[in-house]
Structures are given as structure tokens and as C-alpha cells.
Structure 1
């Protein structure tokens, strides 16, 4: 006889593990959390772990403010460790047109009660001495921003969910979601069937595969993201504000006595997960140091440390990008009981605590506590992108994450 659950969550990254936790902790449901690899082992621990509060829309600012509170209270709530630092950040413009974006950001941030202020290039460099003023024409200080250890979020939520009764099944690939009469009936794995009326597709880079096996097309693209962690550097204090250079799409934060940094490249590499080996692991993703070297050269006047610091770690993950830069969260309109939790757009881990809580409530109550229609998969109805068009739009969203014109 097959196993049964109230909800099956496919994918034990940040979004999936958070959803499983809130389904068990808040709603006491019988939850099974599956992953084709180890729990919390794929893209989530390879993320940058940066929390950017000054987002492009008011909804996202509302969500990320709530996520900040959940990050602060993570250990008290879950009993699991989470190392985080409230460092603040500096958003840097090197072109006049991007200064206008900063001015709009400032107005939005003040309207949403964020701790934001314009600072001069000299003041910005005083706040983070590794930043140099050459070529800087505008800067914004965002005091609410912080960063955390990305390896702890997914495994922490999963462990906390297990303590509350969730069953964790690592190394369990889902071959398809079972559907009968337009309703989810469970999943099929190599180890057999598992019966459940609700399945959450939080499979990260494999989201499309899970959906397409059920006849659903979800327009997102698995996209390579690479970053470097340097060796320790004298003066690289953990409390130094993070730095984001808008037009170059380069980000930097303190990490392990040095810096973690990366770039949202102009021509990112996309992946068709169906074309990769069945046992493909994110750790096997091909990396390209030349991309980071070119980014370091592009910001050498402002961040010369990136060109000189010794490298301790070079890693990457495969987040999912959408054509409009918004997550895909909520139910499928075509299959009752099928929910999405994906399309992280290189910002999924920081907001995972809040989205997991909202999705858990959505599954139980039939609607979320906030209007999340901008994340609904139904927003793509009637839009038939070719794969080439989808990748072009996703690449634009990736490169322009910081709002550069």
C-alpha cells in the first residue's frame, strides 16, 4: 500500500523547506518533504545570503520586511541556528541616469518606512573603506539590509519541520505528479507512489520538469549564478555595509573575514535540466572564472580589492528567472491541488520564510493573507513565449536586478 500525506512538497530548498515547516508548525498537517538530492543541498546553500529591502515594488518591500523579522527570530522560532549580520548596504550609481533611479528608490523607501538616505561618494566610502569614490556619481544607504549564512536556512526549516512531524525524504526523485479528474492524487517516485491531495512544486531548477510531467508549462528559466569568497582580508569587518554597483550588477558583502562577491552577468548561461544527466547535482555545474574576472575589471576603480584578493571559494547555483522578474507562487488554475513555489529571480532565499508562511496559509485557507496576484502563474495566460523569447526576457531581468537603466 502506498504512503499517504496531506501535502507533499517537492524540493527541499529554502522555499520548499519553509513551506513544509509552516504547514506542520502552524497547521499541524501530515507533510512529506522530498528532494532528488540531500535536504537543502542544491542552490540554496550556494546563494549569496543577502537581504535587499529596497525592492522595486511596495508588495516586495512589505514581504521582505516581514522576512527580516522572521530571520531575526529564526532561532527562537525554529530552534535551529542562523548566523546573520545587520550590516546595511550601499547602492552605488556610476551614471547620471542611475542617479534618477536612486532618487525614485529613496522616495519609495521613505514611503515604506525604510531606513534610507542619500549619501555623498565620500560618505559612502567612509562607511566602507574598501569602496573608492572614483567614478561614483550617486549613493544610497539602506540601513535595513542584512546578510545571513545561506547554508542554514533550508536545512534549519527542514529540521524544524521534522521535529514537528514532517517526513523528510532525501534522494527521492519525483518522476511525475499523479493527476486524476483534474485533481492531484499524489506523486510517483522510483520507490513507489505517495498519495496526497496537494503537491507543492518547489523543485528549484527542476520546477519545469515536475510541472511538465503533469502537462503544465511554467515560464521560468534555470540560470547560472556564480560568486567568489575571498580569503580573509585585514579590515574586512563583518559589519561593513554591503555594496551593490548598479550598472555593473556587481555585489559585495563581508564573509568569513574576507568578502563574498558576484555579478549578474549580461549574457547568463541558461540550462535545460532535461538535457542534463539524471543524477546531475548543482555541485557539478560548470563554472566560468572569466565572467568574474571581467566583472572585477569593470568595477576596479570602485572596488579594487576584487582584483587583488586571493580566492578561497568559487561556487555557483542555478536559481530560476521569470520574464517579469516576479516569483511564481500559488495554485495552478488547471490542476486542483497543484501549487508552485519557484521563480526566485535571484532573491528567493532571503524571502523564503515569508513566502513559505503565506503559501502554507494559502493551501489551508484557500487564499493568502496578502494580494499575491503579481506572483500567480495565471498572469502568464495568453502569453506564448518561445524559449528564445523567454530567455531574452529572463536575461534582462537578471542583469537589471538593481534597477539600472
Structure 2
């Protein structure tokens, strides 16, 4: 146990570990990376590991392009392994209104320099024969998209941070962030106190617990995300493009000779982490395979393989979802030294290299290298969210991650 650090990062998922790594690069800055569980052990390794480059804003596209470059250079830069495949993806519309969204995606992607192409349902089928053209109104090929092994990212960043002098403190539960006269002065953990002027709340599903124990309000909801990894299948090559079906919110990608697939549920299950108890681990989250079986039926005309493929692994995580579908990043208002890296909206791991570097720069230099004000928690200051309102808005954002209307 240490007694002091210049920056204390709470939570060692993708966002927290990446922030700790990029802070550790700066000489003279001592970094402590804390987690109530093992390092990099909670939601991040249970993610899908899919990188989606066509996002809803220019800012998000700029960040994900930067993240792609960092994913490609991950092993060279950090010295840690990261298996990734540049497969591209297919985004599929089955309704006229979703076809209009695809046109907008194409125009935005082309303007932002992405490799995008509007293609026919038959062309989509030729690119990935498991995706049948029946009922498809429109499709876009996104050549920049890729996928990676989600289990390697957070732990890789954490180990790389440790190699550069950061202190890793697993199984160290933060009880409160200590604030005096509006300034962070450290944290109290179950193992003792660590003094420090800067804290990053990257606690994932526990973000609200950490913040609210210190009197800081943050409007996000821990949300169940479930996925299946199938047994190996004939013809399931690693380079087949990923598939996203918009209105059904179903996604799939190649995985270890079969497919990984999941769904953004229409009525997602939310969690009050405080009520789950201090010893709760994400691996113990209650799962419901019937949700995925229903989703497989919903896309049976386009992805019939999902109904027949045998299940090898069924897992889930607890990402955090916000009322507007955007991350919460940067300083908390009214408290000097308190920063957020959360509100991942089921897309945090893929973008964590870019966000981690941006937040580290923000902390060290006093401003980020790119304008991140749209992600500031201050955007919610004028709205008094009831829990039911927050959950209602978060549920909509979760289901409509692909921009379907």
C-alpha cells in the first residue's frame, strides 16, 4: 500500500487502465491504479471487442480513428499483446427509415475520410455469406471497422503502466474520494488512505457509487449487456466482415472459428450496484439467454445461423449508459481535481486508447488536445433527473445504438 500519488485512477477497465498508462508516460507523475477487484477483470474482458468507426458525431469519428491507429500500434507501443483483425463491417437496414440513416452515415463517413460504400443486399451477402439478403432494404460497407480480443486491452494497458512506474492496487475498494474546500486531497480505501490532488473516477459500473459517496452527482445507469460465442462453424473465417442489423440491434463478428453475437435489448436490465453488495463481481451477474434466443428469431431471415449454432460461451458485462448516449469525460464541476472517465455506452473499450490519452493530456496540461466539451458532465447541470427518467432515456439510447429510429 502506498500513501501518496499525483493521480489516483479508480477502476482498471479499458478507460481507467488507458488513462493510467498515458499518465505514466509523463515523467515525474506518480500514478496509482486502483480496483476493488482484480486488475482489468470486470466488464472490459467480457465485451464484444468490436470497433465501429461510423459514429453519430464528427468528434466521435475523430476519436475512434485515433483509437484505431493506437490499436494497430498497441503491441509496439506498450509491449503487450493485442490480437486484432481488420475485417470491415456491414451495417444493415430492414426498414425505409433506417435506410435513410445509412445514407446519412455514408455521407458523414465519407466527409470524415472513412472507407465507406453503399452496397446492395446481394453484395453484402457475397462479402459475408452468413448474412442473407432477404428483407434487406439497404447496406453500407465500412472498411475501417475491426475487432480485437477484449481480454487483452485493459490488462495490457495496466501492465504497460506498471512497467513505466505506475502502482497497481487490485482488491483495493475505494470508500470515498476525500474533498476539502472544494479540492480533492486523496481517497480513503478499505486498506487505508492515499493522498493525492487528482482522482479519476473510471469505476465502470461503480462510477456512481464512487462519485455519490463524495457528494458528486453523475447521471448514468449500469446496464446489462449479454453475448454468445458459438462453437466453430464451417466457413466462419476470421476476415468475414462484422454484421450489424439496425432495427433489431443485433451484432455479430467472427470469433475463434465461430461467431460472437449479441443484442442491445429493448427493455434492458439496469442495476443498482449498491444493492448488490460489496463483494459483487460482474462474473456473477444474472444472465437471461431467452433474450438472445428471441433476438435470433427476429433476425432469422438475415442471420439464420444464429438459431442453429451451438453455444460455446454465454457471458455478460455491465457497461454504463447515459441519457444522451455520449461518454462522461473530464472534470466534475465545483470540485478541483475530480475527473470522470465513464458513461461508455457499450462502446468504451474500443475507444479507450484515444480517450485515455486525451484525458491524461487534459490532467497534465490543463486542457485536452481535442475539444471534449460535448462529453462534459456539465451538459446535464440544468436537468434534474429522476431515476425513472434517467432509465427511460438510457434504455432508448441503448436500444438505438446503431442510429435506428
- In the alignment, the residues of structure 1 paired with residue 105 and residue 54 of structure 2 have an alpha-carbon distance, to the nearest angstrom, of 7
- In the alignment, the residues of structure 2 paired with residue 38 and residue 27 of structure 1 have an alpha-carbon distance, to the nearest angstrom, of 26
SS at match of 2:359: helix
Matches within 5 A, 1:218-257: 218-257=218-257
**What does the per-residue CA deviation read over 1:247-303, in whole Å, with 9 as the maximum and x for residues that have no partner?**
000000000100000000100000000111210000010000010000000000000
**What does the per-residue CA deviation read over 1:350-396, in whole Å, with 9 as the maximum and x for residues that have no partner?**
00000000000000111111111110011111100100000000000
Deviates most, 311-320 or 177-186: 177-186
Matches within 5 A, 1:291-330: 291-330=291-330
Matches within 5 A, 1:5-404: 5-404=5-404
CA apart distance, 1:27: 4.5
**What does the per-residue CA deviation read over 1:101-131, in whole Å, with 9 as the maximum and x for residues that have no partner?**
1111111011001000011000000000001
**What does the per-residue CA deviation read over 1:70-100, in whole Å, with 9 as the maximum and x for residues that have no partner?**
0000000000000000000000000111111
CA apart distance, 1:29: 1.3
SS at match of 1:403: coil
- In the alignment, the residues of structure 2 paired with residue 95 and residue 339 of structure 1 have an alpha-carbon distance, to the nearest angstrom, of 41
- In the alignment, the residues of structure 1 paired with residue 283 and residue 38 of structure 2 have an alpha-carbon distance, to the nearest angstrom, of 12
Cα 1:152–1:312 change in 2 (3 A) is same
- In the alignment, the residues of structure 1 paired with residue 27 and residue 228 of structure 2 have an alpha-carbon distance, to the nearest angstrom, of 40
TM-score, normalised relative to structure 1: 0.99
CA apart distance, 1:26: 3.5
- In the alignment, the residues of structure 2 paired with residue 43 and residue 339 of structure 1 have an alpha-carbon distance, to the nearest angstrom, of 20
Query: After TM superposition, where is structure 1 displaced by more than 6 Å over at least 4 residues in a row?
Result: none
Cα 1:193–1:127 change in 2 (3 A) is same
- In the alignment, the residues of structure 2 paired with residue 28 and residue 74 of structure 1 have an alpha-carbon distance, to the nearest angstrom, of 23
SS at match of 1:221: strand
- In the alignment, the residues of structure 1 paired with residue 293 and residue 128 of structure 2 have an alpha-carbon distance, to the nearest angstrom, of 22
SS at match of 1:76: helix
- In the alignment, the residues of structure 2 paired with residue 126 and residue 28 of structure 1 have an alpha-carbon distance, to the nearest angstrom, of 54
- In the alignment, the residues of structure 2 paired with residue 332 and residue 95 of structure 1 have an alpha-carbon distance, to the nearest angstrom, of 41
Q: Could you list the runs of 5+ residues in structure 1 that have no partner in the other structure?
A: none
- In the alignment, the residues of structure 2 paired with residue 385 and residue 268 of structure 1 have an alpha-carbon distance, to the nearest angstrom, of 19
- In the alignment, the residues of structure 2 paired with residue 344 and residue 382 of structure 1 have an alpha-carbon distance, to the nearest angstrom, of 22
TM-score, normalised relative to structure 2: 0.99
**What does the per-residue CA deviation read over 1:168-201, in whole Å, with 9 as the maximum and x for residues that have no partner?**
0000000000111111010001111000000000
- In the alignment, the residues of structure 1 paired with residue 167 and residue 226 of structure 2 have an alpha-carbon distance, to the nearest angstrom, of 32
Cα 1:246–1:53 change in 2 (3 A) is same
Root-mean-square deviation (CA, aligned residues, Å) is 0.8
**What does the per-residue CA deviation read over 1:310-352, in whole Å, with 9 as the maximum and x for residues that have no partner?**
0000000000000000000000111110000000000000000
- In the alignment, the residues of structure 2 paired with residue 134 and residue 12 of structure 1 have an alpha-carbon distance, to the nearest angstrom, of 43
CA apart distance, 1:2: 6.6
SS at match of 2:99: helix
Q: Could you list the runs of 5+ residues in structure 2 that have no partner in the other structure?
A: none
- In the alignment, the residues of structure 1 paired with residue 223 and residue 14 of structure 2 have an alpha-carbon distance, to the nearest angstrom, of 17
- In the alignment, the residues of structure 2 paired with residue 373 and residue 230 of structure 1 have an alpha-carbon distance, to the nearest angstrom, of 41
SS at match of 2:177: strand
**What does the per-residue CA deviation read over 1:16-62, in whole Å, with 9 as the maximum and x for residues that have no partner?**
00000000113541000000000000000000000000001110000
Give the total of aligned pairs. Answer: 405
- In the alignment, the residues of structure 1 paired with residue 393 and residue 62 of structure 2 have an alpha-carbon distance, to the nearest angstrom, of 25
- In the alignment, the residues of structure 2 paired with residue 345 and residue 312 of structure 1 have an alpha-carbon distance, to the nearest angstrom, of 26
CA apart distance, 1:211: 0.2
